[in-house]
């Protein structure tokens, strides 16, 4: 489809926003997220849902969840439940929709098909749509021939020229037919997008869109427009891939005598190499991030920054409350948004630190960590003296100790395995650490006197252990870091971890002494 996009500076784009949104300036918005139940919720879908939710809550409006399930051939059993569960996990509840009835139910399009047929019939009667009896074979031939001639639209409007007698003949013969929108050939359709600015679409490039398929079911275009109008949707925020469909929708609104909502198209999501993010990739599904142990507030924060950022140069860390307060359509960028997992890990790390500041927050982190620990260690630890390492109190201490060093709670069982099992001194990590050890420090901690004195430390906590070790190193004329490194090797066999004194406190006196004695 050919279109003319008027590239506007941000100030001009803001002007368009001000003008076009005047009728909604002081009114609560009604927005919707309308996924098809064809699989798991992906990052792009979550971003669309989140932006709509933020706008609704910012303006004191309503967020509607509508299920666009008219294409039964693509329906996946359990997909709706999965979508609702993922949105609930992300803290994005709907005000109307499945299981939350409202004044515009039902919220499944498959239960609204009669409404769409009524409006299609109305369009035919008013001359804004027509029945198309063309067979699939003819449509294929016409499309191929027109493409060879360089035509942008695939259909030749053949059935729009049928006489009343020819139409009646087709109906009497019970020939299958579709209903198509009668698109004007001359002129253009203008659209003021809240993100992209003013766009002109040449009507010569807009096909006579099918509204009702031959099986009687509506296409996305008709169902979408009818539902948005009847559900009183004021703003439509959706992916950039729908930008080319917007003129069809605007023409439909005009044909039905309705005022279109305001449209804002969100930028494409890109891989780091600039290619379009594929929905088929497993690591774009929200379920993937849930299974990996990411925090919902971190995912919301990350997804919000895919194409949006407040214009005040504030930090990139936001709670949902802060996102609602700061969200503004004018701050959405139309450049592609790169999905950078390193940035996600950085954001997740900081939300872990924020949660860990409170008792309840730390407890919630334990709830996330425990399944990962159980999966990896329950068979080895259950029924042994070390079973306490599966308990919440111990896991809470581990998180509190290591929180500054991790990007994800689920990293702990693997990266810091020494909290749950004996160190593997033959691992690549342990051998690399061993090469850096200074022999005088190793000799010192191998002495029986060191272990005896170490046993006598009371209370056995980091606040006591650390100054004791520094004082000992000083008395021996030794670099304290050399002593700490030797101890780290002995008790963890790993370069990854928190401070040595803090790690020893969490491991406890018995475990620490045993590991020191075993490594003499």
Positions marked catalytic: 279
Q: Say which residues have a Cβ less than 8 Å from residue 26's Cβ, sequence separation at least 6.
A: none
Q: Residue 131 and residue 166: Cα distance in Å, rounded?
A: 11
Q: Count the helices and strands in the chain (H runs, E runs).
A: 22, 12
The token pair at 335 is 């450049």
Q: How far apart are CA 349 and CA 334, in angstroms?
A: 28
CA 403 to chain centre: 24
| CA distances, 247 to each of 106, 203, 220 (Å) | 27, 9, 14
Residue whose C-alpha is closest to residue 297's, from 82, 89, 18, 122? 89
> In the 8-state DSSP scheme, what is residue 78?
T
**CA nearest 316: which of 302, 330, 328, 336?**
302
DSSP E strand boundaries for 2-61: 3-5, 30-33
HSE, CB side, 13 Å, CA atoms: give it for residue 128: 17
Query: Scanning the structure block, which residue is given the tokens 């489809």?
Result: 1
The number of C-alpha atoms within 13 Å of 428 and in the hemisphere containing its C-beta is 1
Q: Which residues pair with 129 in a beta bridge?
A: 181
Which residues touch 49 (CB under 8 Å, ≥6 apart)? 33, 35, 41, 87, 90, 92
CA of 115: how far to CAs of 222, 259, 275, in Å? Answer: 10, 19, 40
The DSSP secondary-structure symbol of 507 reads H
Rounded to whole angstroms, the Cα distance separating 393 from 507 reads 12
- Dihedral of the alpha carbons of 276, 280, 286, 292, in degrees to the nearest 10: -100
Bond before 418 cis per omega within 30 degrees: no
User: Whole-angstrom Cα distance, residue 303 to residue 47?
Assistant: 6
DSSP assignment letter at 179: E
Written as six digits, the tokens of 365 are: 């982190």
How many Cβ atoms from other residues are within 10 Å of residue 123's Cβ? 22
What tokens were used for 28?
């609560």
């Amino acid at each position: 489809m050919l279109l003319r996009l008027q590239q506007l500076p941000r100030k001009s784009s803001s002007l368009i926003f001000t003008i076009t949104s005047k009728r909604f300036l002081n009114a609560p918005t009604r927005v919707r997220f309308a996924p098809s139940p064809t699989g798991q919720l992906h990052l792009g879908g979550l971003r669309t849902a989140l932006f709509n939710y933020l706008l609704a809550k910012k303006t004191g409006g309503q967020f509607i969840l509508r299920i666009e399930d008219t294409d039964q051939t693509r329906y996946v059993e359990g997909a709706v439940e999965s979508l609702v569960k993922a949105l609930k996990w992300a803290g994005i509840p709907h005000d109307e929709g499945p299981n939350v009835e409202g004044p515009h139910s039902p919220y499944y399009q498959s239960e609204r098909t009669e409404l769409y047929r009524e409006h299609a019939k109305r369009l035919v009667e008013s001359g804004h749509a027509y029945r198309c009896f063309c067979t699939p074979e003819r449509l294929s031939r016409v499309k191929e021939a027109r493409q060879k001639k360089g035509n942008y639209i695939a259909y030749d409007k053949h059935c729009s020229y049928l006489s009343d007698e020819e139409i009646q003949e087709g109906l009497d013969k019970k020939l299958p037919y579709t209903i198509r929108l009668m698109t004007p050939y001359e002129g253009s359709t203008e659209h003021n997008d809240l993100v992209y600015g003013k766009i002109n679409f040449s009507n010569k490039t807009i096909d006579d869109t099918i509204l009702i398929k031959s099986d009687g079911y509506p296409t996305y275009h008709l169902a979408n427009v009818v539902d948005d109008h009847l559900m009183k949707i004021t703003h439509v925020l959706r992916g950039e891939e729908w930008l080319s469909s917007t003129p069809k929708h605007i023409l439909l609104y005009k044909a039905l005598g309705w005022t279109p909502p305001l449209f804002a198209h969100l930028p494409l999501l890109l891989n780091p190499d600039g290619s379009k993010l594929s929905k088929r990739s497993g690591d774009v599904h929200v379920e993937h991030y849930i299974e990996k142990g990411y925090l919902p507030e971190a995912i919301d924060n990350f997804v919000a920054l895919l194409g949006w950022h407040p214009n005040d140069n504030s930090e990139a860390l936001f709670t949902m409350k802060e996102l609602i307060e700061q969200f503004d359509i004018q701050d959405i960028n139309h450049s592609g948004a790169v999905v950078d997992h390193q940035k996600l890990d950085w954001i997740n790390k900081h939300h872990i630190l924020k949660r860990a500041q409170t008792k309840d927050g730390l407890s919630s982190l334990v709830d996330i960590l425990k399944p990962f620990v159980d999966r990896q260690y329950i068979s080895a630890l259950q029924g042994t003296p070390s079973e306490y390492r599966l308990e919440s109190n111990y896991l809470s201490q581990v998180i509190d100790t290591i929180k500054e060093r991790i990007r994800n709670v689920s990293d702990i069982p693997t990266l810091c395995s020494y909290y749950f099992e004996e160190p593997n001194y033959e691992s690549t990590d342990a051998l690399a650490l061993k090469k850096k050890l200074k022999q005088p420090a190793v000799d010192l901690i191998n002495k029986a006197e060191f272990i005896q004195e170490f046993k006598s430390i009371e209370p056995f906590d980091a606040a006591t252990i650390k100054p004791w070790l520094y004082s000992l190193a000083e008395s021996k004329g030794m670099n304290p870091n050399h002593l700490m490194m030797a101890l780290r090797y002995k008790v963890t066999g790993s370069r990854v971890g928190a401070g040595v004194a803090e790690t020893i406190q969490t491991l406890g006196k018995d475990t620490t002494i045993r590991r020191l004695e075993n490594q003499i």
